[in-house]
Amino acid sequence: MCETAQSAKKRALSFIQPSGLITIGNYLGALKNWVEMQSEFDCIYAVADLHAITVYQEPQKLRSQIYSTYALLLAIGIDPEKHTVFIQSHVPYHTQLAWLLSCNTQFGEMSRMTQFKDKSAKHPENVNVGLFSYPVLMAADILLYNSDLVPVGADQKQHLEIARDIAGRFNNRYGELLTVPEPYIPETGASIKSLQDPSKKMSKSDDNPNSWVAVLDPRDVIIKKFKRAVTDSDSCVRLSDDKPGISNLIGIYSAVTGKSAGEVEKEFEGVGYGDFKAAVGEVVADMLAPVQKSYAEIIKDKAALEALYRQGAEKASRIAAKTCYKAMKKVGFVL
């Protein structure tokens, strides 16, 4: 795609942390939309490795997960030739702009962030400064690229709001520079719950491995996990508030097949829970099979993978450098 056609589109930006296995909750709830957004927007996607270390990561494991996450983005259909796909730490302007923005962010704003409170409670032995201030780094991620739109889920709305507040304050103090982004709520995007506790979001941090399904799980493991999914004592496949387990499975089947909840109910009318759970596992495994095949091919060619993420960092740096230098000039630094 030529640069003129690409620049005429609105710019959408989203990052993903390489802090563990990517689940079907991540895929159906967000990553699938990233792929679809490529036809409509100028997309900037990155592996947020700097954010990952607010919680201690074993170095070798982190390095492997960064490679794996980047390769998986390509495997699901993100196009690094038409869009910008990079590793966050390869663009130093993120931390540089974050310092400028930190000096324009109030302590009270950071102390009210709910994710800081949640993670501090979960990791009381490591309540570090990075954990406290990482919403400012997230703001820098967004504002460096003059992003028009940022896809957000319920757990990220507060971080986008603080980015908007910081941008507005910076512009008011130093003059218009930073684009104030808008939230982008995709028309489709499933909210996938835990297979063992459907009152909670599916999460790779759950201690019970049967509660989540990873995108790279083998076919037999995927089907086995769905067969073990918590349901209820009824035997009717029906969407209902008092049937959270079955409703979650209907939502997953619907997200994978594109069928409405009503169509799913009709398809499995008179079918027992065991057969329904197996069917959900089958369609999920079928959906992931081509992704897994593509991933296996990409991850084994390390040289090609490195060439792509370095190319992505160069593209990202060209945009980020302009914003960062302009911001420094406005603040008063000698350049």
Catalytic one among 32, 193, 201, 225? 201
Contacts of 275 (CB under 8 A, 6+ apart): 268
How much is the CA Rg of the chain, to the nearest whole Å?
Answer: 21
Dig out the tokens for 156 from the structure.
Answer: 């990220």
Q: What is the DSSP letter of 10?
A: P
Q: Determine contact, residues 99/12, Cβ cutoff 8 Å.
A: no
Contacts of 136 (CB under 8 A, 6+ apart): 98, 101, 102, 105, 110, 162, 166
Give the integer Cα–Cα distance in Å for 275 and 198: 19
> Amino acid letter at 290?
P
Q: Is residue 300 annotated as a catalytic residue, yes or no?
A: no
Cβ-count burial of 120 within 10 angstroms (0-12 exposed, 13-18 middle, 19+ buried)? middle
Catalytic one among 32, 119, 225, 243? 119
CA distances from 157 to 275, 298, 322, 334 (A): 38, 33, 27, 36
Q: Is residue 330 annotated as a catalytic residue, yes or no?
A: no
Dig out the tokens for 198 from the structure.
Answer: 């459907």
Q: Determine contact, residues 274/268, Cβ cutoff 8 Å.
A: no
Beta strand 11-16 with 182-184: parallel, antiparallel or unpaired? Answer: unpaired
CA distances from 267 to 203, 276, 313 (A): 29, 10, 47
Cα-Cα-Cα-Cα dihedral sign, residues 150, 152, 155, 157? positive
Cβ-count burial of 45 within 10 angstroms (0-12 exposed, 13-18 middle, 19+ buried)? buried
Angle at 200 between CA 204 and CA 265, to 5 degrees: 105
Q: Is residue 201 annotated as a catalytic residue, yes or no?
A: yes
Active site residues: 119, 201, 204
